Amino acid sequence: MDKAQGNNLDPWYSHYAERTAGLSASEVRALFAVASRPEVVSLAGGMPFVSALPQELVLTAVERTVRDHGAVALQYGSGQGSPRLREQILEVMALEGIHAGVDDVVVTTGSQHALELVSKLFLDPGDVVIAEGPSYVTALVVFRSFQADVAHVEMDELGLVPQSLRDTIARLREQGRTIKFLYTIPSFQNPMGVTLSWERRMEVLEIARENDILVVEDNPYGLLYFDQAPPQAMRSVDEDGVIYLGTFSKTLAPGLRVGWAVAPHAIREKLILANEAAVLSPSSFAQTVISEYLSTADWKGQINTFRDVYRERRDAMLGALNEQLPTLSWTVPNGGFYIWLTLPNNMDSKAMLPRAVKELVAYTPGTAFFADGNGRNAMRLSFCYPSPDFIREGIRRLAIVINGEMSLLTEFSQTAPLAVQPTRREGVLPPSVG
């Protein structure tokens, strides 16, 4: 069939905009259907354990919203978001050293939406976003949907490596590429769980200033620390060169879909216009529910409860890994949701996933978090949702798969290679086979 006529699956194929070629399902989303089966222990998705949120807190907030603010909560709102909620967001951000004004905040439909708005404002086809390697899977999908390329910078146990950032910038500039911004998750990074040290935060900001590169600081996990708070946000020391993204998805509930952005003045004004063009206004009802919750509940105490819940789950996973897979290496996060497990170089976590699902355990392959195909010998393990007992059982099942794969590879590596037949060269013919 001629392409102008579409194809036999989609008659409108030839009508789509070119940028739709960058739209694809993330490997995390693709796992949800399998991982949601009750018999499967899912260590794949980063779903908050919302059951730790007392139901009466939410019910009270919803009841007060309908009873006292129904006429406003059920109406259209401002494209910048509710002034009352923006004032409360300032209190939340102050916990990480950010001092801003009410007018600096733009409320969005989750921080993912804020990232899409930033990308819409800045990315042209062929532009480059610098991001940690590995990086947040859906951010990579967003950048690709705007036809941008991603250049990864190296990470270690202290987060993004500044020298790798310098080298990447120099290489891209030498190639004549246009760098639009650096995307980073400095605290309890998704997927590695590591935290960028204060010294490195300052060095990264200095590198960005020297090279006139905007920094997009995504911070969904910063308040969910276990033993000690992470360094203050990068936005706390640089108001002109950093766009800060925050969310209530991890400290309250993702179903409310409320996040925010704090940006330099000119960028903020464009974010508001882009927000209005996309959704007219973020949900007045969801914003009012959160405002009521923040006004009436001990929300800081509830964050402490979440910390305790996730700390227990992290410890269960670390203990199980030490017991079941002692020869491998992994990160030890001080907060957030994730552990990054590294396999031997000759193993492929993506190819191994079907065998893991057959063993009734799921994880996210490392390749999901790279734009360049790297990460095959790694996987992200999420400890946020399953109970500690389920986590231990999940790691036991995973160990069966990994140990079986390692044994198989070891067995084959010790097998003598098949004889290689001579090839036709310099007038020499291979022997007859018949």
The answer on pLDDT for 39 being more than 60 is yes
State residue 27's pLDDT score. Answer: 61
- Which residues, other chains included, contact 383 with Cβ-Cβ below 8 Å and sequence gap of 6+? 43, 310, 313, 314, 316, 317, 337, 338, 339, 391
Model pLDDT for residues 175-217, shown as the tens digit of each residue: 999 999 999 999 999 999 999 999 999 999 999 999 999 999 9
State residue 8's pLDDT score. Answer: 59
The answer on pLDDT for 427 being more than 50 is no
Contact present, 186 and 219 (Cβ < 8 Å): yes
State residue 28's pLDDT score. Answer: 58
**Roughly what angle, to the nearest 10 degrees, separates helices 55-73 and 284-296?**
130
Residue 254 identity (one-letter amino acid): P
State residue 426's pLDDT score. Answer: 39
* Cα–Cα distance list, 385 to 52, 306, 317 (Å): 10, 11, 12
The answer on pLDDT for 102 being more than 50 is yes
The answer on pLDDT for 33 being more than 70 is no
Average pLDDT over residues 24-50: 76
Phi/psi at 167 (5° precision) = -65, -40
State residue 7's pLDDT score. Answer: 60
Model pLDDT for residues 105-158, shown as the tens digit of each residue: 999 999 999 999 999 999 999 999 999 999 999 999 999 999 999 999 999 999
Strand partners, 132: 153
Question: H helices within 47-122, ranges in order?
Answer: 55-73, 83-94, 111-122
* Residue of 249, 233, 253 whose CA lies nearest to 241: 233
Report residue 428's pLDDT band, with 50, 70 and 90 as the boundaries. Answer: very low
Contact present, 257 and 112 (Cβ < 8 Å): no
Q: Which two tokens stand for residue 372?
A: 């360049």
Average pLDDT over residues 54-63: 91
Report residue 418's pLDDT band, with 50, 70 and 90 as the boundaries. Answer: very low
How many whole angstroms separate alpha carbon 237 and alpha carbon 186? 14
The answer on pLDDT for 6 being more than 60 is no
Greater pLDDT, 377 or 425: 377
How many other β-carbons are positioned within 10 Å of the β-carbon of residue 382? 28
Place of tokens 């013919």: 429
Average pLDDT over residues 336-348: 97
Model pLDDT for residues 20-30, shown as the tens digit of each residue: 877 766 565 65
How many whole angstroms separate alpha carbon 90 and alpha carbon 92? 5
Model pLDDT for residues 289-312, shown as the tens digit of each residue: 999 999 999 999 999 999 999 999
Q: How many helices (H) and strands (E) does the chain have?
A: 12, 15
The answer on pLDDT for 409 being more than 80 is yes
State residue 26's pLDDT score. Answer: 59
Strand partners, 41: 361
State residue 1's pLDDT score. Answer: 43
Average pLDDT over residues 78-104: 97
Average pLDDT over residues 154-170: 97
Model pLDDT for residues 260-299, shown as the tens digit of each residue: 999 999 999 999 999 999 999 999 999 999 999 999 999 9
State residue 38's pLDDT score. Answer: 79
